[in-house]
């Protein structure tokens, strides 16, 4: 009903707007004296966490992109190799697992059958399992050794939004806790990252203010038949998520690519008028990657692509080449995904709405898929 939507046109619009709170609530009680201290991880004991040799993240859909994003942070901070696998692929290919492997499942609902089966399989093979889940008492957390709940609040819209940002926040807390226990960063370095995480809710609120610009763009693009998304480093999973959102909601053929892969194939798709969203790394924080992505933009612009850039506030280098720009506040590189995803979520909802589609209940999809 309208009152349940709190005045918003859809649950999805409401849930997008709730992301600052979703992250704040996920951080609550898990930061002490400027350090990530996740009480739920005490189930393992520091010696077990210190002895982990490999992490495998299993998830489906949007949750898998949260996992792909977190891989960069876990490897950088805690120096543990991370593989991210779709749950249904993981289980059926004889994965190599042992009791020094930690399997992290990510599931908003905690009921996705493919992910549940992956967790059961991993535990039978001797691996430890942590669940990142948004639903108290769901099946996957019950089948896991420990659970870090995201506290995004109930997510009703089929397409996940606040669930995603809360998942990344929870995974970053995990990564910072692990890095502390494993001594892979100094307490000072850890505190800097924790402070970045704590600054995210306010930056999310700022990012959400661009609704009108996103709305304008969507109304111009209602006849678009295909959209490409490019990203690099942590921007890559965000490109994939942006494409998924458009498929799910606007029924448009959308593909995400790693920007560096452009010249190895996708550039052949560029023809005049082709819209391409580009998640641009920070010119300060990612000084080595920023020029590479700007040169990707120039290459496709020269072939007639219409560029919609998601760029850091004050990034002047992209302006001459972009047809539209959505700005995100300054953040350290690993934290940019939490912000860059927001305009993409908003664009998907706006385009679907402009096309007259039901954004909360897209055709053929279910909120949680409880069959294999
Ligand atoms: C379904 C939903 C997606 C979601 C995926 C994983 O396919 O339509 O939006 O990302 O399931 O759901 P989970 O509850 O496991 O995060």
Q: What is the pLDDT of residue 111?
A: 96
Helix (H) or strand (E) holding 17: helix 11-17
Residue showing tokens 């300054």: 330
The answer, yes or no, to whether residue 171 has pLDDT greater than 90, is yes
**187 C-alpha to center of ligand 1: Å?**
36
Give the per-residue pLDDT at 135.
97
Q: How confident is the model at residue 277 (pLDDT cuts 50, 70, 90)?
A: very high
pLDDT value at residue 317: 95
Instruction: State mean pLDDT over 34-54.
Output: 94
R_g of the chain computed on alpha carbons: 20
Distance CA(368)–CA(346), nearest Å, equals 22
Q: How far apart are alpha carbons 302 and 326 in whole angstroms?
A: 21
Residue nearest to atom 4 of ligand 1 (CA): 61
Mean pLDDT of the chain: 95
Testing ligand 1's pocket by substitution, the residue of 22, 136, 345, 368 carrying the most ligand atoms inside 8 A of its CB is: 368
Q: What is the mean pLDDT of residues 303-323?
A: 96
Whole-angstrom distance, CA of residue 75 vs CA of residue 233? 13
Of residues 5 and 59, more confidently modeled: 59
Pocket test of ligand 1: the residue of 62, 114, 237 to mutate, having most ligand atoms within 8 Å of its CB, is: 62
Q: Which atom of ligand 1 is nearest to the CA of 115?
A: 15
Q: Report how far residue 150's alpha carbon sits from residue 166's, in angstroms, rounded to the nearest whole number.
A: 6
* pTM > 0.90: yes or no: yes
- Looking at ligand 1, which residue's alpha carbon is closest to its atom 8? 367
179 has a pLDDT exceeding 90: yes
Quote the ligand 1 centre to 319 CA distance (angstroms): 35
- What is the mean predicted confidence (pLDDT) over 143-161? 95
Active site positions, annotated:
367
What are the tens digits of pLDDT across the range 280-312? 999 999 999 999 999 999 999 999 999 999 999
What are 74-85's pLDDT values in tens digits?
999 999 999 999
Alpha carbon 139 to its chain centroid, in Å, reads 23
- Report the nearest-CA residue for atom 9 of ligand 1: 159
| 102 backbone dihedrals φ, ψ, rounded to 5° | -110, 125
Tokens of residue 296, six digits = 């990707």
Q: 3-class SS at 116?
A: helix
Burial of 281 (0-12, 13-18, 19+ CB in 10 A): buried
What Cα–Cα distance (Å) separates residue 167 from each residue in 83, 118, 176, 364?
17, 18, 14, 25
What distance in Å separates the CA atoms of residue 134 and residue 166, rounded to the nearest whole number?
9
Q: Say if residue 117's pLDDT is above 90.
A: yes
Phi-psi region at 362: left, alpha or beta (left = phi > 0; alpha = psi -120 to 50): beta
pLDDT value at 3 more than 80: no
Note the pLDDT of residue 6: 85
Identify the pLDDT of residue 1.
65
Our mutation pick for probing the ligand 1 site, out of 15, 22, 60, 118, counting the most ligand atoms within 8 A of Cβ, is: 60
How far apart (Å, rounded) are the C-alpha atoms in residues 290 and 161? 27
Distance CA 63, CA 171 (A): 11
Q: How far apart are CA 211 and CA 234, in angstroms?
A: 23
Closest ligand 1 atom to residue 109 Cα is 14
Q: Are 243 and 227 in contact (CB under 8 A)?
A: yes
* pLDDT at 366 > cutoff 90: no
Judge if the beta carbon of residue 131 lies within 6 A of ligand 1: no
pLDDT value of residue 371:
82
For residue 41, how many C-alpha atoms fall within 13 Å in the half-sphere facing its CB?
24
The pLDDT-based confidence of 128 (bands split at 50, 70, 90) is very high
- Rounded to the nearest whole angstrom, what is the distance from the C-alpha of residue 92 to the centroid of ligand 1? 20
Q: What is the largest CA-CA distance in the chain?
A: 57
- How much is the average pLDDT of 46-64? 96
Which residues are CB-contacts of 145 (< 8 A; sequence separation ≥ 6)?
Answer: 43, 44, 123, 128, 129, 130
What's the confidence (pLDDT) of residue 251? 94
């Amino acid at each position: 009903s309208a009152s349940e939507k709190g005045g918003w046109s859809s649950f999805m619009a409401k849930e997008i707007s709730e992301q600052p709170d979703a992250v704040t609530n996920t951080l609550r009680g898990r930061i002490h004296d400027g350090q990530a201290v996740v009480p739920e991880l005490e189930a393992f004991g520091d010696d077990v966490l210190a002895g982990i040799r490999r992490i495998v993240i299993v998830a489906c859909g949007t949750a898998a992109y949260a996992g792909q994003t977190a891989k960069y942070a876990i490897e950088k901070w805690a120096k543990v190799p991370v593989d991210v696998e779709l749950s249904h692929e993981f289980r059926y290919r004889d994965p190599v697992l042992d009791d020094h492997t930690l399997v992290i499942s990510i599931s908003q609902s905690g009921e996705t059958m493919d992910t549940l089966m992956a967790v059961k399989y991993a535990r039978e093979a001797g691996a430890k399992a942590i669940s990142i889940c948004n639903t108290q008492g769901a099946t996957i957390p019950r089948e896991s050794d420990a659970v870090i709940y995201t506290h995004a609040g109930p997510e009703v819209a089929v397409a996940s939004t606040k669930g995603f940002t809360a998942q990344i926040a929870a995974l970053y807390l995990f990564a910072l806790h692990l890095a502390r226990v494993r001594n892979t960063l100094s307490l000072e370095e850890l505190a800097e990252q924790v402070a970045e995480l704590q600054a995210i809710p306010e930056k999310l609120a700022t990012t959400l203010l661009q609704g009108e610009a996103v709305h304008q763009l969507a109304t111009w693009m209602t006849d678009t038949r295909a959209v490409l998304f490019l990203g690099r480093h942590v921007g890559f999973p965000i490109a994939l998520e942006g494409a998924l959102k458009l498929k799910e909601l606007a029924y448009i053929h959308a593909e995400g690519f790693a920007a560096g892969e452009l010249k190895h194939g996708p550039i052949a798709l560029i023809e005049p008028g082709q819209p391409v969203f580009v998640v641009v790394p920070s010119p300060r924080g990612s000084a080595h990657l920023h020029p590479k992505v700007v040169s990707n933009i120039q290459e496709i612009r020269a072939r007639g692509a219409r560029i919609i850039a998601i760029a850091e506030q004050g990034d002047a280098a992209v302006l001459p080449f972009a047809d539209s720009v959505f700005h995100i506040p300054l953040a350290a590189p690993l934290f940019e995904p939490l912000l860059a995803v927001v305009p993409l979520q908003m664009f998907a909802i706006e385009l679907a709405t402009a096309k007259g589609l039901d954004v909360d209940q897209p055709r053929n999809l279910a909120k949680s898929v409880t069959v294999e």
